[in-house]
Amino acid sequence: MVSADAHLHLWLYRVTNPHEFELDGISFLGTSGQNLDDIYKYSVEENRLTLLQRVLEWGHLVPTAPDTLTCYPLSDSDPFILQSAPHVFFVGNQPAYSSQMVTGTLLWNVSHCRVHAALHFCEHMYWADIKEIVLLVALMH
């Protein structure tokens, strides 16, 4: 749970969903997970990381919108078309944590991307109940 005065803390950043940012030359792309949940709902694929890899291969962050995932339809442009592949692609609110390195030809010949499926944090009553944390360590040469 986030306290009412959470906006006073320097570590809390309110951002859009999806959100793309760069940190020390590493590009990140993340969503709250509705896009993956909707793809999973209509797919025979059971592995959510495989579906994340396919999102990168398809080049579209929300391929089921606006048909089965509520989204405002835009006639002139599609903001969910991926312009480049990130170094790290993550989604939240998943039933279990999992991660893998995706290699090969993704969008625009990027050779690798780390994909993460993060847990539902809102299902925990207290922060002390959370027994997992994701730490990403990147070595830049």
- For residue 77, CA distances in Å to 3, 15, 42, 74, 80 come to 38, 22, 25, 6, 9
Sorted by where each begins, the domain ranges of the chain are 6-129
Q: Locate 110 and state its tokens.
A: 């990027």
- Would the pTM of this model clear 0.85, i.e. be above it? no
For 11, other C-beta atoms within 10 Å of its C-beta total 5
Question: Would you write out the chain's pLDDT as a tens digit for each of its 141 residues?
Answer: 455 565 566 666 788 889 999 988 889 999 999 999 999 999 999 999 999 989 988 888 998 887 888 877 778 888 898 888 888 999 998 988 889 988 776 666 556 788 888 877 655 445 455 555 566 655 443
> Cα angle at 21 between 141 and 71, to 5 degrees?
145
Q: Topology of domain 6-129, per CATH?
A: Purple Acid Phosphatase; chain A, domain 2 (3.60.21)
